[in-house]
Chain A
Amino acid sequence: AQKITQTQPGMFVQEKEAVTLDCTYDTSDPSYGLFWYKQPSSGEMIFLIYQGSYDQQNATEGRYSLNFQKARKSANLVISASQLGDSAMYFCAMRPSGTYKYIFGTGTRLKVLA
């Protein structure tokens, strides 16, 4: 079964510190995309970063990087230099190739402390 698992329901991090949000996935498809989204309290989902299953290098977007370990089926999000505005729910998602369907994890609530 295709599934995304986020085992950390909540996380705290001190402002300016780095934090890693865990994500593991399960799929038998050889080709898939992995995504991270941020959902602030306002409710709107914001796309953060993408990693393709055949990408050799880990994706980076500003302060966001994705630690992709294909053999372990993990796609952890690393946020460097946390800011108060990073406090939000973070969702990991997967889209197996050719399915036109995104599978989301249950999310991790991150709280950045001043």
Chain B
Amino acid sequence: KAGVTQTPRYLIKTRGQQVTLSCSPISGHRSVSWYQQTPGQGLQFLFEYFSETQRNKGNFPGRFSGRQFSNSRSEMNVSTLELGDSALYLCASSLEEGAIYEQYFGPGTRLTVT
């Protein structure tokens, strides 16, 4: 079974631009979560989607948004980029069945804002 894939793997953008990151979950997984990882803040939860519905959202400004499609693929968008948005963005999927909800992570998209 293929793992979680994220595209692109690396991205360089300029302040003020917007960016869209993509995540394809493991086949059959309907839950997709997004995280921002920085050296100073660690892993910060952005949002979680299940069957195209956002079920939870972290404490990020409205510039960060996401969506999920009917095939469970998810995208996140960051508008009006700031230097502080430079980070590794990780996507994770989980099966959400049974009692264990372990997440499987993709390789991440490393975003650099200049």
Q: Which residues of A contact B (CB under 8 A)?
A: 33, 35, 37, 42-47, 50, 52, 91, 95, 99-107
Contact = CB atoms under 8 A, between A and B. Distances in A.
A96 to B, nearest CB: 11
A106 B41 CA distance: 8
Given A45-B92, A91-B43, A107-B42, A101 B58 contact: yes
Contact of B88 (A43, A91, A101): A43
Interface residues of B, number: 25
> What is the predominant secondary structure among interface residues of chain B facing chain A?
strand
Contacts of A50: 100, 102
Contacts of B99: 52
B103 A47 contact: yes
A49 to B, nearest CB: 9
